[in-house]
Structure 1
């Protein structure tokens, strides 16, 4: 058999610290007993075939050395060199982010120089859960679990171990109290949150809805402004780089509806028989569960908006009734609505006059104070309310003969009395 022959090596250089896997190509490698880089034997080698060997370089001084292979037939004599080069130690400049939870799992981007070939990333000596060398200036590493506090992060390559940068492990926040623990659905209540590990809080949420604003007063106190929310309980949480508070035992903040208020009722009056459609205006009327007239439920009602309800007045005795609206937030202030008895006419003075009109007639009766119309037959005419029992009206022009006279108020139309127009004498 022939002595081995070395034709080439790949790669042709590597760090002086050794550890480079080098492919040696040539002939007659079967049964190789030694592979040398200069005078030093390879750390290990594998004969892949009679023409190829994979060898791991030993440590060496900087510079070129001859690569040789020895078999039972001798040692190769060809001058094929591998150059050992000095490798600069890695250096770290930044960590982003620079903090995360004690449970680990934070993806941290390390930037620096000479990071190629990194063999380890450590957090206080604990190996990163995983890491990827993105380039000579960047590594992405996943932080391992660690106790709360600062951990020194380093990168190791064949050139050595880098300087250390600090990564802060943050404990999960815990929320223990809310004062006050309730407020209106409109939000705006300033709530003081107490607990631990609040430093660096990035969010305060009410059922997942961000607080309108918040201020971290200390590691144990946050002041937050409650957002608007539907009535009921809302779970309050604090989020920091250490995680989200109380996932299994959250603190509850209770939203209640604001007390409704009434500003006006239109029309202001109606008949004792009920049935008048009344428009109520005010504030915080959404969710109304009742509309009452002196405690008597409206025949029906519709919530048109937060500021308006349309209700049908129920029957009620004559007089003033207090109208209220009830919602989950409470019962409103009362607004006055007047129940009126239908008007009644007793007499007309005079009860006759000329056909050309203009005669002033005094109508006497009851419940006339709110008179809104006086008619002679189907013709409305001008009138003046003198008192609750008396109205004066101007007779309109019309044909001779009798005509009915009525008075109308919000409570209805009166009985009819007869007025007779008389033609004047003809010549």
Structure 2
């Protein structure tokens, strides 16, 4: 039976229980809110979940503060910059000092912990070695954060993918692909690094070779691009046989055709690669000798098959003659200004009249063991013709003493010695007359007034001569002579410099019209250049069988010779005065 005391106790316990439950409910309800009733944020996702520092990351969730500055976002404890905010989305920049770890968002309502953000480690390039080369050059790339598996590194040379041969986290070795000069880049799953520039060394190219044919030992000029300016760094081959390079620029090489070479392509190899090939034809034809001045310093000497031979003290080289293996050149000693000749490079001075301070050895021929030289001594207005035999002055009959009397050519026929030039029969009239001396006796040529002969040729019993009319008016007829009979030349003949006769009897004369080189065949003129140039002239002719060689200058094309009308340039020639073919 329930007593009053027990009932009172029961009622008190029920009352205490009720108030306890009410208190617990209030605590539970208020625990879900901060002051003012702000709900705590939540994070449902981050995007992207990986990246490098300063990657823009979008955080999706609830209860964010719409004011960006009232959201504190941390990447593994490092505060990030919030760039935009709404209650359900924040855009933040992954902090540079952050590291891989969870992302948190804190507002006045509390803190939410989200997924982890993974910091990627993009590669860096500190150097490449070498920085220049050709395709397939092995290049070492140094840096950081490379992948140790070769296929996980994508290396490009100016955008072209290279083959990675080896890989560590700090070094890659790659083979340079066929590409062009540009930046080297490395890409991994973590990003891309752009490094230094790799410069491709271009392969040389050949645009021309001159001459394109010749005997072994010929000097050959190779013109093109991207040669090495250091001669030893250019490897030139004639059909596979290495040639000696005598001079080099980036656009021109001068080489010697190797003795063991054969007809085929000429190539040039440098560190940049091997050029295209251009054909060179080996010939067994005659040797070409040319006398004149070299463009380097203007020294006198001669070329044999395009190879230069300098002569000591030679200030001018007017004539050349080859007898057996002996090479003779006549000219002027550069120091004394007196006539001299050189035999195989050894100088021999010629005697002149006492008191004479100038002279020229203009023409030289060899007959047996005798050396004959025609020339002059004295100064303009007072010159005298001279003939020397083995260095001894010979007699030439002169009508008067003084005036401008000169000898320019000498020829031998049997025991007869012929000299061509001009005499001055009368000091009173003052004009020159074309003259041929035979064994010292003078013959004045028909219609030879105001002429000076510069060339002479003996063909059997026939004597041919040609020269220059000293009257500048071209209205006067121009001639060459055969046995003292004048033969008119067609066209405009300013001067005739050489004469020769082929085995078939055709007479060729070299010369010019005052502007451009030309030749006459049996009196009929033919220009040697399509476009006249005041810097062009023809200076001599030499005939072998029916091949006609004419030496001279081709204006902007340099100095050299024409063979049957085809031009052949000579290396480094300032001027060419005479030709001999043997």
Whether the TM-score (by the shorter chain) exceeds 0.5 is no
**Greater RCO, 1 or 2 (C-alpha within 8 Å, sep 6+):** 1
Higher helix share: 2
TM value normalised by structure 1: 0.36
